[in-house]
Amino acid sequence: MPKPIPGTVVQAETPSWAALEAAVGVVLAPGFMWMFEIRLADGTRVDAYKHVASRRYLYLGEDARALTYRGECGYVRTDLEQAVAEVLRGTDVCGQRSTSAGRRRAA
């Protein structure tokens, strides 16, 4: 497993949508909120996006590579498709909360 890279939030005022649009496309991008920018110890810029319906985070490097947050340990590069699938889990094709997912949780 790759070693986590520490990172620090550097700003939460000026959003950047380029990495998100490159990763998920312009159709799914509106389903996300930009939250903040992180600077990793190796100098990589990472943007944190939160999905409106699932409330899960997608961390994307400036090169649109996905990362997983490992708490105080830092960030680890991960597979983009898996990261997007995890963020969208429990939502329908349009990124809205799936009613069937809600019924499964209630059961």
Query: How far is it, in rounded angstroms, from Cα 48 to Cα 62?
Result: 11
pLDDT digits (tens), the chain, 107 positions: 789 999 999 999 999 999 999 999 999 999 999 999 999 999 999 999 999 999 999 999 998 899 999 998 999 999 999 999 999 998 865 555 544 444 444 44
pTM: 0.84
Sorted by where each begins, the domain ranges of the chain are 7-106
